[in-house]
Amino acid sequence: MEMESPCDALVKSKDLKEEGEFLKTKDYRLALYLYEKSMQFLCVCVCVCVCVPRSENDAVLIEDLAITINLNTATCCLKLNEFELAKRQCDLVMKLDQRAQAFLHVGLKEEARQDISDAIRFDPCNGELNRELWRIENLCNQSREKEPSEGR
């Protein structure tokens, strides 16, 4: 399928994810392959959009699709006894929205930055993660800039 726009990549990603529902037929290798391809198309969509979804609905759709693909990938890995990969997929989903945000809310900006950086290593094309890292790094820099001036 030739991609004409980021929307085509998003549609292709969704189609492959739905094809990956081979979980019901126990063809876990094929499902895993389809989820990997689905994530590649999702990365294309996000990267081509220069990490800026056109609308809030696009951002929610992309995030939901990425989470679903990662969790389905983890399920396939468990069924195939690929436990380390399953763990990484689950860690990725759990860390993204929860632990980094919790760190931020209790003032642990460096820890939040580290969690987001770790997640980006697993999913480098994730625009939401890249935007969040940029935001957190700005917060960290602002905190560092205020420290010397407070001592005066």
What the chain holds in terms of domains, given with CATH numbers, is: 6-147 (1.25.40)
Task: Decide if 100 contacts 126 (C-beta within 8 A).
Answer: no
Q: State how far the alpha carbon of 52 is from the alpha carbons of 31, 43, 90, 93, 150, in Å.
A: 29, 12, 25, 20, 36
Task: Decide if 129 contacts 116 (C-beta within 8 A).
Answer: yes
Task: Decide if 64 contacts 42 (C-beta within 8 A).
Answer: no
pLDDT at 97: 57
pLDDT tens per residue across all 152 residues of the chain:
444 565 677 778 778 877 777 665 678 898 898 888 888 888 777 666 544 556 666 666 777 788 888 888 888 888 899 988 888 888 777 656 567 777 788 888 888 888 888 777 666 777 777 888 899 999 888 888 887 655 54
- Sequence-distant (6+) residues with CB within 8 A of 3 are 9, 12, 44
d(CA 58, CA 61): 5
CB-neighbour burial class of residue 54 (10 A; exposed 0-12, middle 13-18, buried 19+)? exposed
The model's pTM: 0.56
Task: Decide if 26 contacts 15 (C-beta within 8 A).
Answer: no
